[in-house]
Amino acid sequence: MSTKTNDAIRSSVSNAYAKAVSRAVRECGCCTTMEADSAENQTANKYYNDHDLTRLPEDAIRHSLGCGNPLAYVDVKEGDVVLDLGSGAGIDILLAAERVGPSGRVIGIDMTDEMLAKAQENIEQSGFNNVQVRKGLIEDMPIENDSIDWVISNCVINLSPEKDRVFGEIARVLKPGGKMLVSDIVVENLPQALRNNDFLYCGCVAGAIREAAYIAGLQDAGLTNVVVKQRVLYDSQSIEQAVERELEAMTEQSSDCCGSQDSIEAHELAELVVGGIWSCQFSAKKV
Ligand SMILES: C[S@@+](CC[C@H](N)C(=O)[O-])C[C@H]1O[C@@H](n2cnc3c(N)ncnc32)[C@H](O)[C@@H]1O
Q: Cα-atom radius of gyration of the chain, to the nearest Å? A: 17
Strand 224-233 to strand 148-154: parallel, antiparallel, or no bridges (unpaired)?
unpaired
Instruction: Name the pTM for this structure.
Output: 0.91
Quote helix, strand, coil % in the chain, to nearest 5.
Answer: 40, 20, 40
96 C-beta closer than 6 A to ligand 1? no
Alpha carbons 221 and 230: distance in angstroms, whole number? 22
Instruction: Give the CA-trace dihedral at 274, 256, 11, 110, to 10 degrees.
Output: -70
Instruction: Give the CA-trace dihedral at 262, 211, 65, 142, to 10 degrees.
Output: -100
pLDDT of res. 95: 97
154 C-beta closer than 6 A to ligand 1? yes
Taking Cα atoms as reference points, which of 253, 185, 157 lies closest to residue 34?
185
- Which one-letter amino acid corresponds to residue 100? V
Alpha carbons 270 and 132: distance in angstroms, whole number? 39
Instruction: For the chain, report the end-to-end CA distance as a whole number of angstroms.
Output: 36
Per-residue pLDDT of the chain (287 residues; tens, 9 = 90+): 557 999 999 999 999 999 989 875 444 444 555 554 444 446 677 899 998 899 899 999 999 999 999 999 999 999 999 999 999 999 999 999 999 999 999 999 999 999 999 999 999 999 999 999 999 999 999 999 999 999 999 999 999 999 999 999 999 999 999 999 999 999 998 888 888 888 889 889 999 999 999 999 999 999 999 999 999 999 888 888 776 766 655 554 434 445 444 556 778 778 888 899 999 999 999 99
User: Between helices 6-22 and 113-126, what is the axis angle to 10°?
Assistant: 40
Of 110, 133, 137, 165, the one to substitute when testing ligand 1's pocket (max ligand atoms within 8 A of C-beta) is 110
Enumerate long-range contacts of 213-221, CB under 8 Å, 24 or more apart. 214/163, 214/184, 214/186, 214/280, 214/282, 215/282, 217/163, 217/164, 217/167, 218/167, 218/170, 218/180, 218/282, 218/284, 220/164, 220/167, 221/164, 221/167, 221/168, 221/170, 221/171
Domains of the chain in start order, with CATH, are 6-282 (3.40.50.150)
pLDDT of res. 248: 57
Of 4, 17, 28, the one to substitute when testing ligand 1's pocket (max ligand atoms within 8 A of C-beta) is 17
